[in-house]
Structure 1
Amino acid sequence: MKFLASTLAALVAIPAVTATPTSSWPWVNPPNGIGHAGKRGDNDLLHTLAVKAGKKYFGTATDNGELNNKDYTDILNNKKQFGQLTPSNGQKWMYIEPEQNVFNFTNGEVVGNLAKKNGQILRCHTLVWHSQLPSWVENGNWTKETLSAVVVNHITKVLTHWKGKCYAWDVINEAFNEDGTYRETVFYNVLGEDYFELAFKTASQIDPKAKLYYNDYNLESRSNKTLAVQALVRRLKKQNIRIDGVGAQAHLVVGSTPSREDQIQNLKDFVATGVEVAQTELDIRLELPVNATNLAQQSIDYENTVAACVAVKGCVGTTIWDFYDPYSWVPDVFEGEGAATLYFEDFSKHPAYWGVVKALAAGGKRPHWPWPFTN
């Protein structure tokens, strides 16, 4: 992700100012039988629909401090709704290795253990990122040799601990600028572009079964950045260094989301490099306050984005960056914006929820039934 307000050491999400739906708004709830004929049953549960559409999962990120909310966990723990979980913060470097070679896996275990208990896929996040680093890494007096050893040690210890438990790891996160140049970080400034090879090669050796991903934002449509990431994939593969996937974070803005067609083509372009793809951190923020107009557009944008993944064979699934507005990172970073998820503060569903259902139920195609629905 770009940035999380939950960099607080306590890992407790800060409740955000959100809006609740008004009962007079149309299409807050669809009629029975959405997507399939007959009884509703599981026909509006996202992971169930995703699997029927040929995807591996539909999932969500979550964080430790959110798990004391029973109304929230009643939804989170339903693997028919969310068949995959990502720890928002608990596996990041500042929590895992706060002091050099002193490892503490406690924070990261919470969501992992929950996923195991619920029978949900665990998607692990993240190994090498310029943000949420402990100061000893960010401000160290490094040589190429000493920092290389630190990176190898961190990846080795972390992947050894979770070996066999993670479907995928985001090995490197957000390493490119928008123009396709390398982001200046402690890793790039000391190691140069060799740190990509170092990280992926080490990860491949330690956990040969986990899918190894490069993950970034603004990878949803063709740009200099997407071309740079595709070039990275080809470079690693040419050197016989394993990279299995690219994660398009999909932190998007209502009304400015790339078209369905552009997103489909872009995902196909990544798949053509020989990797799978996933939407890894989806949310679509809007300008507050919410109203019928921006909620309707948000539903369209969510539908088009999820439908793009469904339409591309090599896109394995979609993860939303938490499903509940009060736990979203957006209002703490983007003043005046929010309501980026699928559930309002009172746990009623955004119209966008039904946009996602529509995309999954239609198998990525544009359905012919009327939309929006009215009660």
Structure 2
Amino acid sequence: MRTRTRSPRVTAAALAASAALLLGLTVAPAADAASPHRDRAATLDDLARQHGRYFGSAVDNPELADTPYADLLGTEFGQTTPGNGMKWDATEPRRGVFDFTAGDEIVNYAKAKGLKVRGHTLLWHNQLPSWLTSGTWTADELRSILKNHITKVVKHYRGKVFAWDVANEIMNEDGTYRENIFYKTLGPGYIADALRWARAADPRVKLYLNDYNVEGTGAKSDAYYTLIKRLKADRVPIDGFGMQAHLALQYGFPYQMRQNIQRFADLGVDVAITELDIRMILPSDATELAQQADWYGQVTSACLAVRRCVGITLWGYSDRHSWIPATFPGEGAALPWDENLRHKPAYDALRKALTATTS
């Protein structure tokens, strides 16, 4: 191959500089137009990427109309999860009639901002449409309904989401199966079926089970450990376990979190922190905010310490749009940004944990 030599190009800026030197003037160096953000501070996602992870935040459709909030989400984070737009009541409000408007809005926003998307969620005992919950279904009918729903939704978002929470919150605190409509009609086998149908609809997407109060060891996380181990043995497609991590200062920190993440990783699945927030009794004070910051750092460090912990998602990043006050009256201040989109001590703790060297 012959190498072509390129003649030096004399730019207007170079001519101006030469003229200035002849006149004895000094010239300030020009900005590098090719690197307009070279001095931009690293974002949380930038720091997470240095460890091979992502750092994200959930968002709900009304929040996209809050321009400052949506802009910060699109610059600080590398991943997002639709808070409600992909749930059953949104995607199939009438039997066999699908509406992807809300989910598509967030996917399109994410694409414009360069964020990847976690799908949430294909089946859950909440936010089911009334046509489904009020019906009297035989096992064959409900299997057909569930298969059709999963297949249509997953196919619609094939190539647009990197992971799905296939089954959400399917266990009780004591480790027994939650008696949702699917369990009561189909038995526990509906979980494996749902995973198989999702895999058939999108062979490349990562398939997760997802729940809260599973960050530490205990009856509930033990039940998921046993379930995932059995699913793997039965060659059911299962790629990951989502630990929501809705924590509260008054209930204590799950100090076995790192070991718990590791034991799931040792089963051969990824682990993700999927819905992180850390609430407190209001009004907050400096001591509580410092404790919250410490916990955010500990969660991040626990994830970074396990190779197969693939990323962290905040359940909204600012107290401005948190779900906590409406769900837990008298509690809140759960997120690393306050109502005015200002950093709290938790934000600094996240940065510190993400810049620390992992063991």
Matches within 5 A, 1:132-171: 132-171=127-166
User: Residue by residue, what CA displacement relative to the aligned partner does 1:307-328 show, whole Å, maximum 9, x if unpaired?
Assistant: 1101110100000000110211
Does structure 2 conserve the Cα–Cα contact (< 8 Å) formed by 1:255 and 1:298? no
- More RCO (CA 8 Å, sep 6+): 1
**SS of residue matched to 1:85:** strand
Which runs of 5 or more residues in structure 2 are unaligned?
Answer: 1-37
Greater C-alpha radius of gyration: 2
Aligned to 1:4: none
Distance 1:126 1:328, change over 3 A: same
Counterpart residue identity of residue 131, structure 1: N
Matched, 1:300 2:294: yes
Matches within 5 A, 1:1-375: 41-43=40-42, 45-55=43-53, 57-78=54-75, 81-254=76-249, 256-260=251-255, 262-364=256-358
User: Residue by residue, what CA displacement relative to the aligned partner does 1:277-307 show, whole Å, maximum 9, x if unpaired?
Assistant: 0000000001111111100000001110111
How many residues were matched structurally? 322
Does structure 1 conserve the Cα–Cα contact (< 8 Å) formed by 2:74 and 2:114? no
Aligned equivalents of 1:253, 1:123: Cα separation in 2: 24
C-alpha RMSD of the superposition: 1.3
Alpha-carbon shift at residue 198 of structure 1 (Å): 1.0
% identity of equivalent residues: 48
Aligned equivalents of 2:240, 2:252: Cα separation in 1: 22
The TM-score normalised by the length of structure 2 is 0.87
Alpha-carbon shift at residue 41 of structure 1 (Å): 3.7
Aligned equivalents of 2:68, 2:102: Cα separation in 1: 22
Select the structure that is richer in helix: 2
Aligned equivalents of 1:113, 1:332: Cα separation in 2: 28
User: Residue by residue, what CA displacement relative to the aligned partner does 1:82-138 show, whole Å, maximum 9, x if unpaired?
Assistant: 000100000000010011000000011111111111111111100010000001111
Aligned equivalents of 1:139, 1:40: Cα separation in 2: 57
Aligned equivalents of 2:297, 2:39: Cα separation in 1: 20
Counterpart residue identity of residue 320, structure 2: P
Counterpart residue identity of residue 301, structure 1: W
Alpha-carbon shift at residue 53 of structure 1 (Å): 2.1
Aligned equivalents of 2:55, 2:336: Cα separation in 1: 13
Aligned equivalents of 2:41, 2:162: Cα separation in 1: 25
**SS of residue matched to 2:268:** coil
Aligned equivalents of 2:136, 2:254: Cα separation in 1: 46
Does structure 1 conserve the Cα–Cα contact (< 8 Å) formed by 2:225 and 2:264? yes
